[in-house]
Amino acid sequence: MVDLTKRRWFRPSKQPLMNPTLPWLRDPAQFLDECDRCGACVKVCENHIITLGSGGFPTVDFTQGECSFCYQCVKACPKPLFYSQQHTPWQAEITLTSNCLALRNVECRGCSDNCEYQAITFQLGIGRVAQPQVHNERCVGCGACIAPCPTQALSLELQAGITKPSDPHTHTITITECQ
Ligand code: SF4
Ligand code: SF4
Ligand code: SF4
């Protein structure tokens, strides 16, 4: 699971990422201005992860599943709000918090087991259970690691409108150590 160029480098470090909206979204301001909240994208999502959120605007809910990047939501939308499928869908940043069981020395690999991009792996150690390792460059922001986490220790933040064709994924995962 996608933050969806090198544009992250243009983002001031203290500027918060946006909450998830929809993949391939061009411009959040345009989205708020032009989305008529018709719900067409909700109906076609094969994974049923798009819900109508605040103000009736569609938003992705990773507690319901992952984005398979099928592009059906964009195809269904009558508005010119999205990039082509050749663009990366969004820029992503995932944070692993101190709720992580493995960081608390309890065996758990739920996130890694569900990440087909190997963006979270585990490393064996001495005297501790295997510890999570993150690999920023591999994360696509699919969200598949979110729902399986038994302690809601993962937070995936997405930023729209910062993508261009043919760039490799440049998503970033950050990890906050157990306190
Ligand atoms: S770390 Fe999570 S959001 Fe990123 S690719 Fe893996 S499963 Fe998807
Ligand atoms: S790309 Fe497909 S799976 Fe992802 S939100 Fe759109 S319709 Fe759903
Ligand atoms: S299909 Fe397009 S206009 Fe309709 S709710 Fe979804 S994003 Fe908004």
Q: Are 16 and 28 in contact (CB under 8 A)?
A: no
Q: What is the pLDDT of residues 111-153, one digit of tens each?
A: 999 999 999 999 998 999 999 988 878 899 999 999 999 999 9
Q: Which of 9, 12, 10, 24 is nearest to 158 (CA)?
A: 24
Quote the pTM value.
Answer: 0.81
Ligand 2 atom nearest the C-alpha of 45 is 7
Q: Among candidates 61, 64, 169, 45, which has minimal Cα distance to 117?
A: 169
Domains in the chain: ranges and CATH? 19-89 (3.30.70.20), 90-161 (3.30.70.20)
Q: What ligand 1 atom has the least distance to the C-alpha of 156?
A: 3
One-letter amino acid for residue 177 of the chain? E
Cα–ligand 3 centroid distance for 125 (angstroms): 48
The tens digit of pLDDT for each residue in 41-91 reads: 999 999 999 999 889 999 999 999 999 999 999 999 999 999 999 999 998
Distance CA 26, CA 160 (A): 6
